[in-house]
Amino acid sequence: MPLSRPPALVLAALLLFAGPTARAQTFSTEYAVSLRGVPIGTARLQVELSDGRYAIEFSGRVRGLARLFSDGTGSAASSGEATDAALQPREYRHVWTEEDETQSVRMAFDGVRVAEIAIEPPPRRPERDVPVTDAHKRGVLDPASAFLWPAPAGVAPEACERTLPVFNGRQRFDLAFAYSRSETFHARDGSYSGPAIVCAMRYRPVSGYRPDKDSIRFMAANRDMEVWMAPAGDGMVAPVRIQIRSKLGRLVLEARSFAAGS
C-alpha cells in the first residue's frame, strides 16, 4: 500500500469495512473523490450476498491532479463466506495501473489464514521491511472484505468501536475506529438522506512496511481521518464519506448515490 500516493490512500481508505448478512442482499454506491475540494476521480462499490456467500467489487479512477502528472485506475474484488459474525474471505485480487505500470496482488485463503500470495512485480528490497510472519496472516481481512460492518444497533455510537486487522498482500496493519459524533448525510442524487455515524480512524502499521519511511510515520501520526457510516440493509452499515488528511491536503470520498436492496 503506497501510502505516499494520495489515490492509493483513497483506494486503501475505501477498502476498510466488513460485516455479515443472513439473507440475500445487494448493495451499490457511486463515490466522488476530491482533493482540497477539487474533483479528481470517481469510484464504484458493488456487493452481493446470497446463501452464505458474498462477492464484493470495487473500482476507481483518479485523474492527473492527484497523480501530479498522470492518471491511475484501480480495481479490487473479494469473495468468500458470510457468517453470522463476519465475512471470511476465500479469494482476493487487486490491480493498480498508472500509465504503462501495473501492480497486482492475488491472495487465496484457507480457513482463517492466508494460504497463497502472488504479487507482480515482486516487492523491491523486502529485507528493509518489518517481516510479515505467519501469525500476521491469520484472522485478517483483505481490503475488499472490509467494506461493510455488522451493526445490530444501526447507526449507534457502539458501531464505531472496533479495530479491523487488514492484510493487503504486502502490508499488515490495523484500522482502529472510535465514535466521534452523529450527522445527517445527504447523497447527491437524493437516493439517501438520513442519519450517519461518524467514526474517527487511526492507522497502525504492524508489518510489511519500512519503519524509516516518512509516509508511514505521517499516516501513523495522522489524527485527521474519519469515516461516515449509514444504514445499508438489516443490521449493516456502510461508508458514505471518508476523509483523510494527506500531505497534499484533505482527501475526501463521498457518496453520490447510496442504495441497498434485497
- Per-chain mean pLDDT for the chain: 85
Q: How far apart are CA 198 and CA 178, in angstroms?
A: 9
Does residue 51 sit in helix, strand or coil? coil
| Predicted confidence (pLDDT) at residue 172 exceeds the cutoff of 90 | yes
Report yes or no: 53 and 78 within 8 Å, Cβ to Cβ: no
Which of 49, 2, 61 has its CA nearest to residue 23?
A: 49
pLDDT confidence of residue 16:
45
Instruction: Please report which confidence band the pLDDT of residue 99 belongs to, taking 50, 70 and 90 as the band edges.
Output: confident
Distance of CA 160 to the CA centre of its chain: 15
pTM score of the predicted model? 0.84
Q: How far apart are CA 76 and CA 51, in angstroms?
A: 22
| Predicted confidence (pLDDT) at residue 131 exceeds the cutoff of 50 | yes
pLDDT confidence of residue 30:
95
pLDDT confidence of residue 23:
52
Q: What percent of the chain has pLDDT over 90?
A: 62
244 - beta bridge partners? 225, 251
Which of 196, 198, 187 has its CA nearest to residue 255?
A: 187
C-alpha cell at 37: 475540494
Report yes or no: 237 and 259 within 8 Å, Cβ to Cβ: no
pLDDT confidence of residue 261:
54
Report yes or no: 138 and 202 within 8 Å, Cβ to Cβ: no
28 - beta bridge partners? 46, 259
| Predicted confidence (pLDDT) at residue 21 exceeds the cutoff of 70 | no
The residue type found at 78 is: S
Read off φ and ψ for residue 153, nearest 5 degrees: -90, 5
Most confident of 25-34, 131-140, 148-157: 131-140
Average confidence (pLDDT) over 108-125:
93
pLDDT confidence of residue 15:
47
Q: How far apart are CA 65 and CA 179, in angstroms?
A: 32
Half-sphere exposure of 231 (CA within 13 A, CB side): 15
Average confidence (pLDDT) over 140-149:
85
Report yes or no: 143 and 165 within 8 Å, Cβ to Cβ: no
Q: How far apart are CA 247 and CA 56, in angstroms?
A: 30
Average confidence (pLDDT) over 204-216:
94
Instruction: Please report which confidence band the pLDDT of residue 20 belongs to, taking 50, 70 and 90 as the band edges.
Output: very low
pLDDT confidence of residue 260:
66
Average confidence (pLDDT) over 12-24:
45
List Cα–Cα distances, 43 to 54, 58, 87, in angstroms.
Answer: 20, 7, 22
**pLDDT, greater one: 233 or 124:** 124
| Predicted confidence (pLDDT) at residue 135 exceeds the cutoff of 90 | yes
Instruction: Please report which confidence band the pLDDT of residue 70 belongs to, taking 50, 70 and 90 as the band edges.
Output: low
| Predicted confidence (pLDDT) at residue 85 exceeds the cutoff of 70 | no
Report yes or no: 40 and 250 within 8 Å, Cβ to Cβ: no
